[in-house]
Amino acid sequence: MTADLIDGKAFAATLRARIAGQVAALKADHGITPGLAVVLVGEDPASSVYVRSKGKATAEVGMRGFAHRLPAGTPQQELLDLIARLNADEAVNGILVQLPLPRHMDEAAVINAIAPEKDVDGFTVLNAGRLATGQKAMVPCTPLGCLMLLRDRLGSVSGKDALVIGRSNIVGKPMAQLLLADSATVTVAHSRTRGLPDLCRRADIVVAAVGRARFVQGDWIKPGATVIDVGINRTDDGLTGDVDFAAAREVAGAITPVPGGVGPMTIACLLANTLTATARVHGLSDPEGLTP
């Protein structure tokens, strides 16, 4: 048995096309154009690539993009002042501050300076709390993309045993909350979890987001399970995920590749969140199919 590939690249392209159609309708019906502001502090090479990709994707779906690049030595207060201006700017519906920030900055303070209704990354304490308590929230992009892929593959995750490996605020914790809200039975594990292979072998769904190359072994996977690999690790062999892909594919029912799996979904869901934020601030219904 060889697992089916979950093609995140193709799914993301379809999602972006749907978003472009909804953006066009928003302009035609209400005269509103969503605007996304992306802030980059410093010259981290990977972050610069991400920011360029986000800018290109924003333009392709018909949104307005506002790029703000600040030197690495920018004082934190200067960044906070910029965020305050973007919070007040009616043309800006979404604000994303690219992480990681330079070491002299307090990431939590910067993130929580973003107005929750414009927090399209879903990282503020208020949005995290809303998600955890089942209220309407802006949802982190990567977990939202993973959920879309799972629903597309499985139809429903209700009643299934799901294992989330990773406990970050960006992926692991919100992923667990989304799966719980969809009535899955969820276990959250991490690199120090005892008996992790046995936990994996019981799981119908495995979401690997631990940040270690090929950490999840093929013989950990339950036959027929659905495996979502969030990891992107640079190795001598190129990019690899957190799952030993070749071995896991011989056991799983479906699996995301790296690259081409979860990665493209993250940017597509950023655009989805920007459209959702725009609709909400104007008192319109949430766009169809873009929220949990």
Told to judge if 173 belongs to the known catalytic residues of this protein, a careful annotator would answer: no
**Active-site residue identified among 98, 118, 204, 222:** 98
Q: Which tokens belong to 45?
A: 């090479």
Told to judge if 98 belongs to the known catalytic residues of this protein, a careful annotator would answer: yes
One-letter amino acid for residue 248 of the chain: A
Closest CA to 143 of 151, 134, 135, 155: 151
**Active-site residue identified among 54, 118, 160, 222:** 54
With beta carbons less than 8 A apart as the criterion, state whether 33 and 64 touch: yes
**Active-site residue identified among 22, 119, 121, 229:** 121
Told to judge if 121 belongs to the known catalytic residues of this protein, a careful annotator would answer: yes
With beta carbons less than 8 A apart as the criterion, state whether 231 and 210 touch: yes
**Annotated catalytic sites, by residue?**
54, 98, 121
